[in-house]
Amino acid sequence: MIQDTTLAKLPASYRVLFTGFLLVIGVGLLMAGFQIMETHGKADGKPGLSYNDIVYSYYGNRSGSKLESMLNGQMKPMAPDEVRFRLIQWTRDGASIKDWNSEIQPIMAQHCVSCHGPGASLPDFSQFEGVKKVAEVDEGESIATLTRVSHIHLFGIAFIFLFVGWIFAMAQYPQKWKLILIATPFAFLILDVLSWWLTKYIPAFAWLTMFGGFGYSLASTIMIFTSLVQMWTPESKWPMRWIRRAK
């Protein structure tokens, strides 16, 4: 029965259901890309996602502290240059508690604690102990964070690809390429997560992270677009190779 069902022959209720799902997923993928640009994409202090952004996020910028990387990256607009330079100098001088009590704590209270305060999901900068942790050498994501994010990423996104691929499986499309497109997001998802761990120890693997994300995004976009077209457009307007090679 599944083999005989095509998107063009689905009842209107199923087409509306699948369309709503695919549109929400499409917007979600766009938001995910924007979120990556706003977090990892500013790790090197420059707009756009680059090789260095990936390296700094997972391997770290080991020439300085995590606090320095933050102040030169995504937190750069949050404080005047003289404030950032003073905080960076403090970390390079060893982040002493003496300077914390006399000078650094008031700076943190004025510019940082509104977001980095007690109970926030971000590191707590209201206390010396919280700042001291990020004043150490920047070694990128911790093993605990990588483990947590990896299993959430794999479990959550795999379900998205499952349903997108299930809908696309009912499309009229060349069988060889249909199988490749359905399998591609799962393969690239594994590659993407694996690249985080490899980059944590060998920065050259940062290219795999960019390649993996691009691969499953492209395959998902093709499947979503094709499914929407075939559900709501007459066959006469489809590319003929879809129909000819699918039969």
Q: Which residue has the tokens 């060893």?
A: 94
CB 223 within 8 A of CB 181: yes
User: Structural domain of residue 212, as residue ranges?
Assistant: 7-42+142-246
3-state secondary structure 61-84: CCCCEHHHHHHHCCCHHHCCHHHH
The last residue of one of the domains, among 134, 154, 175, is 134
Mean pLDDT of the chain, nearest integer: 84
Give the Cβ contact number of residue 94 at 10 Å. 9
The last residue of one of the domains, among 88, 107, 134, is 134
36 and 150 part of one domain: yes
| Residue 187 within any structural domain of the chain | yes
Lowest-confidence pick of 58-67, 144-153, 167-176 = 58-67
Burial class (CB in 10 A: 0-12, 13-18, 19+), 153: middle
CB 221 within 8 A of CB 33: no
| Residue 102 within any structural domain of the chain | yes
CA distance 173 to 198: 36
Digit-coded pLDDT (tens) for 219-245: 999 999 999 999 999 887 777 666 665
Q: Would you state the pLDDT for residue 230? A: 93
| Residue 49 within any structural domain of the chain | no
Digit-coded pLDDT (tens) for 33-67: 888 777 776 666 666 778 888 887 888 777 677 77
152 and 230 part of one domain: yes
Residue 1 pLDDT grade (very low, low, confident, very high; cuts 50, 70, 90): very low
147 and 241 part of one domain: yes
| Residue 50 within any structural domain of the chain | no
**Distances 149 to 33, 68, 96, 136 between C-alpha atoms, Å:** 16, 24, 33, 22
| Residue 30 within any structural domain of the chain | yes
158 and 73 part of one domain: no
Digit-coded pLDDT (tens) for 16-33: 999 999 999 999 988 988
Tally the domains of the chain: 2
| Residue 189 within any structural domain of the chain | yes
CA distance 11 to 234: 15
The last residue of one of the domains, among 105, 134, 163, is 134
What spatial distance separates the first Cα and last Cα of the chain, rounded to whole Å?
A: 16
38 and 146 part of one domain: yes
